[in-house]
């Protein structure tokens, strides 16, 4: 049995029944991670010795019938944006030093530790998570498990690739403009950006309240389980929400019958979508209708908020690097250095004008969700393109936001949004469908996604040649 192919839910069931142990699962996932690292480059560093110690401790707890928590013995990975005690967090940047004591966990990492998870390592990110593909001056290019010439997406590209490869069924990602959903779509896994504040974040993101922390998994059931663990308030995040009213895992059971679903294939003609992507998404939407949802093809009432997003994103980058010396600034990714210059030119009035756009967009989506429980779109209009570049070859756009128009609007509104793998294009590259709900309705996103998995309309895209 390949334990690397199992979900976290399946691993826990096997531990409970004594069919295999956390040590076996950890050894197999570490072997898979290390073997695929040279070609895919999903990891910044492995924490194998620590992992095996934690796995042995977990195995003893399971032997006694006393698991420590909901994820005891499950192998997990953590994006190298989030602090993990005992290991450097370099955020993909040569401007940061490994020196230091590294004594603190980020809130989500602390919750995983409390629940007995086994940490395999830290996953790759572009520098400070600034763009929608994963390459950095520090760690180089992270490649797509399905085609090593293509990008894994970003900025949580290492996490998505690790999950797709079977190098741990669970990973923590971050999402400031699509950074969980983009690589989830490109790599054929599930990724959820929860409602802002549902998962506490510390230290706070330089991109402010655009940035969310969330699960990257093989399916929606694993994501619900992981969210049950990490969606717990932490005093270090003043904007964290109170505890969720119930278990996200329990909430999966409701199905979609009777839900009002708005299907927007192109945001009212604003987005040109590749035909293979459009076809795969439309088939999955038909499955939702077949499961009893009321589906209407319609569009949310907003125009592309790109310039407002850029104002907030670029100014955040400029603030992050404001005190860098000229020598340190030269170490930055050239694209990041460029947006920092643009961000530094923005005035307070420019920033507040972007906030006005954001508030109006939030109002529009609030009214939209009075009529519809869910909005469904493609996650991206394209499948994975050439690795090592920010935009597809021949694109009219200069920045990554040009090919991610379905994702960043919902960071502005702070709504829960997930990418679900719903098929492949003619080259075998995964296609993602995005489900969005009103703020605080993470449960509805997970319910609908789980219904698609249960019906066979969604599944993790298998990676050829990995065993």
Please list, residue by residue across 97-106, b when 16 or more beta carbons sit within 10 angstroms of its beta carbon and e when fewer do: eeeeeeebbb
- 179, 287, 315, 419: which one is catalytic? 179
* CA angle at 48 for the pair 119 and 38, rounded to the nearest 5°: 105
Whether residue 437 contacts residue 416, with contact meaning beta carbons closer than 8 Å, is answered with: yes
Largest CA distance in the chain: 62
Task: Report the alpha-carbon distance of residue 73 to residue 91 in Å, rounded.
Answer: 26
- 155, 205, 232, 264: which one is catalytic? 155
Q: Which residues contact 338 (CB under 8 A, 6 or more apart)?
A: none
- 79, 122, 131, 193: which one is catalytic? 79
Task: Report the alpha-carbon distance of residue 265 to residue 286 in Å, rounded.
Answer: 13
Task: Report the alpha-carbon distance of residue 352 to residue 348 in Å, rounded.
Answer: 6
Clarify whether 58 is annotated catalytic.
no
Whether residue 252 contacts residue 40, with contact meaning beta carbons closer than 8 Å, is answered with: no
Task: Report the alpha-carbon distance of residue 252 to residue 238 in Å, rounded.
Answer: 29
C-alpha distances out from residue 244 to 250, 296, 442, Å: 12, 30, 10
Task: Report the alpha-carbon distance of residue 251 to residue 446 in Å, rounded.
Answer: 8
Give the pair of three-digit tokens for residue 410: 């919902």
Clarify whether 179 is annotated catalytic.
yes
Q: Which residues contact 275 (CB under 8 A, 6 or more apart)?
A: none
Clarify whether 155 is annotated catalytic.
yes
Give the pair of three-digit tokens for residue 230: 């990490």
Q: How many helices (H) and strands (E) does the chain have?
A: 14, 15
Within 13 A of 168's CA, how many CA atoms are on the CB side?
Answer: 35
Task: Report the alpha-carbon distance of residue 249 to residue 227 in Å, rounded.
Answer: 9
Task: Report the alpha-carbon distance of residue 457 to residue 463 in Å, rounded.
Answer: 18
Residues belonging to the active site: 79, 155, 179
């Amino acid at each position: 049995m390949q334990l690397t192919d199992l979900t976290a839910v399946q691993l826990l069931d096997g531990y409970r029944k004594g069919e295999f142990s956390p040590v076996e699962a950890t050894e197999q996932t570490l072997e898979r991670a290390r073997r695929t690292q040279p070609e895919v480059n999903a990891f910044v560093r492995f924490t194998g010795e620590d992992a095996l110690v934690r796995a042995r401790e977990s195995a003893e707890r399971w032997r006694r019938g006393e698991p420590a928590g909901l994820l005891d013995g499950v192998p997990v990975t953590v994006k190298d944006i989030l602090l993990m005690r005992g290991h450097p967090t370099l955020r993909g940047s040569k401007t940061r030093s490994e020196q230091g004591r590294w004594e603190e966990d980020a809130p989500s990492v602390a919750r995983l530790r409390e629940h007995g998870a086994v940490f395999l390592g830290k996953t790759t990110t572009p520098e400070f998570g600034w763009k929608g593909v994963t390459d950095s001056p520090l760690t180089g290019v992270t490649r797509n498990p399905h085609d090593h010439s293509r990008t894994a997406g970003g900025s949580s590209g290492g996490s998505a690739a690790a999950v797709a490869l079977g190098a741990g069924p669970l990973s923590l990602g971050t999402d400031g403009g699509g950074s969980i959903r983009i690589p989830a779509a490109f790599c054929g896994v599930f990724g959820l950006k929860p409602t802002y504040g549902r998962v506490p974040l510390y230290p706070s993101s330089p991109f402010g309240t655009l940035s969310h922390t969330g699960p990257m998994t093989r399916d929606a059931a694993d994501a619900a389980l992981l969210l049950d663990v990490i969606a717990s308030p932490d005093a270090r995040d003043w904007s964290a929400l109170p505890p969720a009213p119930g278990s996200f895992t329990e909430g999966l059971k409701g199905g979609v019958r009777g839900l009002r679903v708005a299907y927007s294939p192109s945001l009212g003609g604003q987005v040109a979508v590749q035909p293979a992507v459009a076809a795969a998404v439309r088939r999955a939407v038909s499955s939702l209708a077949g499961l009893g949802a009321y589906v209407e093809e319609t569009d949310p009432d907003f125009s592309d908020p790109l310039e407002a997003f850029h104002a907030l994103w670029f100014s955040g980058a400029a603030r992050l690097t404001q005190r860098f010396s000229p020598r340190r600034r030269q170490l930055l990714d050239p694209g990041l250095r460029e947006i920092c210059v643009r961000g530094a030119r923005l005035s307070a009035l420019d920033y507040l004008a972007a906030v006005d756009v954001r508030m109006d967009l939030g109002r529009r989506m609030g009214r939209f969700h009075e009529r519809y429980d869910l909005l469904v779109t493609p996650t991206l209009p394209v499948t994975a393109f050439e690795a090592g570049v920010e935009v597809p070859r021949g694109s009219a756009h200069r920045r990554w936001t040009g090919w991610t128009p379905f994702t960043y609007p919902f960071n502005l509104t702070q709504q829960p949004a997930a990418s679900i793998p719903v098929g492949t294009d003619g080259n075998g590259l995964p296609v993602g469908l995005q489900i969005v709900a009103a703020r605080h309705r993470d449960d509805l996103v997970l319910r609908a996604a789980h219904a698609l998995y249960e019906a066979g309309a969604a599944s993790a895209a298998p990676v050829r040649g990995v065993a």
